[in-house]
C-alpha cells in the first residue's frame, strides 16, 4: 500500500495558482480532483482503444467493449456485489436514483403506501420520491433529526407495514454523519420495504460492501471519487432489477425489435440504452485502482485524523456554528458551518480570494436547511489529498472573515 502522504503530488490541479495563491481545494464533497494516473488511463483509452462498445466486430469496438466491461467487473469487486448483472452504469447518483424511482417506484407503489426518507436528503433522493408519491398516490414521510444530527428517538418506528421504500443517505453531504444503516435496513426489511442507499458521500471515503449493508439498491457517482464527471453506478439486487421495466429506451437495451414491439436485453444492458460513457467507465476503473493503492480503510482513517485536527480548532473560534454533530468521530470528511452575521457566499468569496475553495449555499438539501432554520451554510470537505497545512491556511483566512466584513470582534 502507498502512504497517503504521497497522494497530494499525484494531482496536477493542486499545484495551480489563483490570485497569486496556491489553490487549496476543500470542496471534494461537490466533486473530487483527478490524479494524473486516471487522466493517463483515459488518454490511453481514447488514443488507442476508442470504439463503440457492444457495436461492431472490428478491433476497436472489441477493445472498447472489453475496457467498458472490465470497468464493470472492477466496480463489482469494489462494492462486493454478488454478480456483474447487478451493476448498471449511469451518468451519476441522480440518474441512478431516477432509474429506481421511475422503474421501481412508479411500478410498485399505490395509494396508501409510504415512502420514508430522512429530512437530511440531497434533492436527488427527495424530489424523485416527491414525484413518485404524486404519480402513485403514495405518501412521502420524513424521519426527523435532533439538534446534533441524529435521528430522533422513535422516528424509525415510522417505518411500518404500509412502508414500501426507505431511502436515505449513507453519509449526509451536509452533516457529514452516517445514518444507522443496519438498524434502518433491518427495520425496513422486517416490514417488506426495499432500502435505497445513497452512497454518493460514502463510496469515495470508506470500504463499501453491498452484501454486508444488505441494501436493495445502492447508488454513487464516479466524479466524487477521482473519476471523471458523467459516470455513475446503480447497484440493485438481481431479483429486483430482473422484475423492473427499462428506464430509457433505444439502442443496446433491446433483444429483438419488430415494427410494433420489442423485447429487452438481459441485465445489466436492459438499463443501459444508447452509447455508454466508456471513457468515464475507464476513468472509474482507474480511480478505483488508484484509491485501492492506498486502501479504503486507510483513506477513511486519514480523513478521521483530518477532522479530529480541524474541528476542535473551528469550534474554538467565536461566532462559528457547526451544523449537526460536533463530535469529530461522527463527521466523515464534511463540516458545514455558519458564521454569525456573515452570509456563506461572502465567507466563500473571502476564502476564494486566497485560493481556498469551499462550497456555500444550501448544498441541494433545502428541507434540511428549513428544518434547522439555516437556509445556507459554508461547507469544507476533504479527501485523501487534503493536508493539515491546507486546513491551517483555511483557518487563518476564516479568522479574518468577520473583520473583513467590518465587525469589531
Ligand atoms: N446524494 C448526495 C448525498 C450527494 O452529496 C450528491 C452530490 N452532491 C448527490 C446525491 C448527487 O450526486 P450527482 O450530482 O453526482 O448526481
Q: Distance between CA 287 and CA 385 in Å, rounded?
A: 14
CA 140 – CA 58 distance, rounded (Å): 50
Q: Is 92 in the pocket of ligand 1 (CB under 6 A)?
A: yes
Average pLDDT over residues 261-273: 95
Q: Which residues, 6 or more positions from 266, have their beta carbon under 8 angstroms from its beta carbon? A: 85, 255
Joined together, the cell numbers standing for residue 213 give 449493508
Cα 256 to ligand 1 centroid, rounded to whole Å: 35
Does the structure show a pLDDT above 90 at 33?
yes
**Catalytic residue list contains 364:** yes
Which comes out higher in pLDDT, residue 56 or 213? Answer: 213
Taking 90 as the threshold, does the pLDDT of residue 152 lie above it? yes
CA of 123 to the centre of ligand 1 (A): 8
pLDDT in tens, 55-79: 889 999 999 999 999 999 999 999 9
Cα angle 130-205-13, degrees, rounded to a multiple of 5 = 100
Q: In the beta sheet, which residues pair with residue 264?
A: 254
Whole-number pLDDT of residue 55: 83
Q: Which atom of ligand 1 is nearest to the CA of 224?
A: 15
Q: 122 CA distance to ligand 1 centroid (A)?
A: 7
Average pLDDT of the residues in 28-57: 96
Write down the pTM of the prediction: 0.98
| Mean pLDDT within 117-131 | 98
Percent of all residues in the chain with a pLDDT value above 70, rounded to a whole number:
100
| Rounded Cα distance, 376 and 344, in Å | 6
**10 Å Cβ neighbour count for 22?**
14
pLDDT at 13: 98
Distance 211 CA to ligand 1 centre (A): 22
| 366 pLDDT higher than 90 | yes
Cβ–ligand 1 distance for 228 under 6 Å, the answer: no
Query: Does any ligand 1 atom lie closer than 6 A to the CB of residue 120?
Result: no
Q: Is the CB of 169 under 6 A from ligand 1?
A: yes
Is the Cβ–Cβ distance between 248 and 61 less than 8 Å? Answer: no
Predicted confidence (pLDDT) at residue 207 exceeds the cutoff of 90 = yes
Mutate which of 90, 127, 172, 173 for ligand 1? The one with the most ligand atoms within 8 Å of its CB, which is 173
Distance 285 CA to ligand 1 centre (A): 20
- Residue whose cell numbers read 491546507: 390
User: Is-contact 223 93, C-beta < 8 A?
Assistant: no
What is the average per-residue pLDDT within 200-221?
A: 98
3-state SS class at 368? helix
Test site for ligand 1: of 94, 127, 217, most ligand atoms within 8 A of the Cβ: 94
The proportion of the chain whose per-residue pLDDT surpasses 90, expressed as a percent, equals 98
Our mutation pick for probing the ligand 1 site, out of 122, 225, 233, 336, counting the most ligand atoms within 8 A of Cβ, is 122
Binding site membership of 314 for ligand 1 (Cβ less than 6 Å) = no
Contact between residue 13 and residue 33 where contact means Cβ atoms under 8 Å apart: yes
Q: What number of CA atoms fall less than 13 Å from residue 176's CA on the CB side? A: 32
Query: ipTM score of the complex?
Result: 0.99
Q: Is the pLDDT of residue 371 over 90?
A: yes
Query: Rounded CA gap, 45 and 280, in Å?
Result: 10
Q: Tell me the CA distances in angstroms from 102 to 99, 129, 136, one per residue in order.
A: 5, 10, 11
The pLDDT tens digits of the residues spanning 216-255 come to 999 999 999 999 999 999 999 999 999 999 999 998 899 9
Which cell numbers hold the place of 203?
A: 463510496
Per-residue pLDDT, averaged over 114-122, amounts to 98
Residue nearest to atom 8 of ligand 1 (CA): 30
CA proximity to 207, closest of 199, 198, 196, 197: 199
122 Cβ closer than 6 Å to some ligand 1 atom: yes
Is residue 208 predicted with pLDDT exceeding 90? yes
* Residue 364 beta carbon below 6 angstroms from any ligand 1 atom: yes
Q: Is the pLDDT of residue 409 over 90?
A: no
Would you say 235 and 87 are in contact if contact means Cβ atoms under 8 Å apart? yes
User: What pLDDT sits at residue 11?
Assistant: 98
Taking each continuous run of H as one helix and of E as one strand, the counts in the chain are 13, 17
How confident is the prediction for the chain on average, in pLDDT? 97
CA of 262 to the centre of ligand 1 (A): 34
* Residue 198 CB less than 6 A away from ligand 1: yes
Residue 406 phi/psi, 5° resolution?
A: 95, 10
279 lines ligand 1 (CB under 6 A): no
Catalytic position from the list 215, 226, 357, 364: 364
At residue 237, the 3 state secondary structure works out as: coil
State the Cα–Cα distance between residues 176 and 316, nearest whole angstrom.
Answer: 19
Q: Is the CB of 96 under 6 A from ligand 1?
A: no
In contact, 126 and 367? CB cutoff 8 Å: yes
How remote is the CA of residue 124 from the centroid of ligand 1, in Å? 7
Amino acid at each position: 500500500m502507498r502512504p497517503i502522504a504521497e497522494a497530494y503530488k499525484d494531482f496536477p490541479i493542486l499545484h495551480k495558482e489563483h490570485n497569486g495563491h496556491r489553490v487549496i481545494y476543500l470542496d471534494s464533497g461537490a466533486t473530487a480532483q483527478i490524479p494524473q494516473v486516471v487522466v493517463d488511463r483515459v488518454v490511453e483509452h481514447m488514443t488507442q482503444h476508442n470504439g463503440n462498445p457492444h457495436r461492431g466486430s472490428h478491433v476497436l469496438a472489441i477493445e472498447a467493449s472489453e475496457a467498458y466491461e472490465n470497468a464493470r467487473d472492477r466496480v463489482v469487486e469494489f462494492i462486493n456485489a454478488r454478480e456483474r448483472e447487478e451493476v448498471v452504469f449511469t451518468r451519476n447518483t441522480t440518474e441512478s436514483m431516477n432509474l429506481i424511482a421511475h422503474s421501481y417506484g412508479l411500478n410498485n407503489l399505490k395509494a396508501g403506501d409510504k415512502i420514508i426518507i430522512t429530512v437530511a436528503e440531497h434533492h436527488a433522493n427527495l424530489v424523485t420520491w416527491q414525484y413518485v408519491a404524486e404519480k402513485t398516490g403514495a405518501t412521502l414521510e420524513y424521519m426527523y433529526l435532533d439538534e446534533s444530527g441524529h435521528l430522533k428517538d422513535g422516528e424509525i418506528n415510522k417505518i411500518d407495514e404500509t412502508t414500501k421504500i426507505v431511502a436515505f443517505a449513507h453519509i449526509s453531504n451536509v452533516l457529514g454523519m452516517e445514518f444507522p444503516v443496519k438498524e434502518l435496513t433491518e427495520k425496513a426489511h422486517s416490514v417488506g420495504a426495499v432500502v435505497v442507499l445513497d452512497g454518493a458521500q460514502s463510496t469515495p471515503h470508506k470500504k463499501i460492501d453491498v452484501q454486508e449493508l444488505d441494501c436493495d439498491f445502492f447508488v454513487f457517482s464516479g466524479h466524487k471519487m477521482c473519476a471523471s464527471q458523467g459516470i455513475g453506478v446503480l447497484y440493485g439486487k438481481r431479483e429486483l432489477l430482473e422484475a423492473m421495466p427499462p428506464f430509457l429506451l433505444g439502442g443496446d437495451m433491446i433483444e429483438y425489435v419488430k415494427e410494433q414491439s420489442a423485447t429487452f436485453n438481459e441485465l445489466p444492458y436492459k438499463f443501459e440504452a444508447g452509447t455508454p460513457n466508456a471513457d468515464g467507465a475507464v476513468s472509474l476503473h482507474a480511480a478505483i485502482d488508484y484509491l485501492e493503492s492506498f486502501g479504503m480503510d486507510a483513506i477513511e482513517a486519514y480523513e478521521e485524523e483530518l477532522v479530529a485536527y480541524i474541528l476542535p480548532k473551528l469550534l474554538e473560534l467565536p461566532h462559528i456554528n457547526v451544523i449537526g454533530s460536533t463530535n469529530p468521530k461522527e463527521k466523515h470528511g464534511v463540516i458545514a458551518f455558519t458564521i454569525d452575521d456573515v452570509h456563506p457566499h461572502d465567507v466563500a468569496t473571502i476564502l476564494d480570494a486566497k485560493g481556498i475553495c469551499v462550497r456555500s449555499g444550501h448544498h441541494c438539501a433545502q428541507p434540511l436547511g428549513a428544518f434547522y432554520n439555516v437556509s445556507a451554510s459554508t461547507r469544507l470537505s476533504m479527501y485523501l489529498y487534503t493536508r493539515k497545512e491546507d486546513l491551517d491556511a483555511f483557518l487563518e483566512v476564516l479568522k479574518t472573515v468577520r473583520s473583513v466584513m467590518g465587525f469589531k470582534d
